[in-house]
A = this chain, B = another copy of it.
């Protein structure tokens, strides 16, 4: 279990680093080929190549030069080979000459295959600012 936790932390760290290098292929690499991805706008993407293309677009446009920090809040195992990582993201991006900051919860469902953990589903939800409706 400790080795699995360690590997899952490494997957999340890898994604953070890929984001911060605007490396969409690196960001998509830990996903299984036919992964599901639900973004903060509730759009549902299927497949690693769609995830790669979507992030390529983000890194080239609204999130160009953005910085993301991923914190693993907890890991929940559902059997020995399936786990969900509850992750908190803190994103800083640039818009109209100003720095903006937002938080979200990109939870990742991972499965172990041949000793390696891969992301099967990622669902993201924006964390509403305090006091906002």
Report which A residues bind B (CB closer than 8 A): 36, 38-44, 73, 76, 78-79, 81-82, 84, 86, 103-105, 107, 109, 111, 120-121, 123-128
Contact = CB atoms under 8 A, between A and B. Distances in A.
Q: How many copies does the complex hold?
A: 2
A79 B81 contact: yes
A128 B42 contact: yes
Contacts of A121: 76, 84, 107
A123 B123 contact: yes
A106 B84 CA distance: 16
A19 to B, nearest CB: 19
A107 B86 contact: no
A82 B78 contact: yes
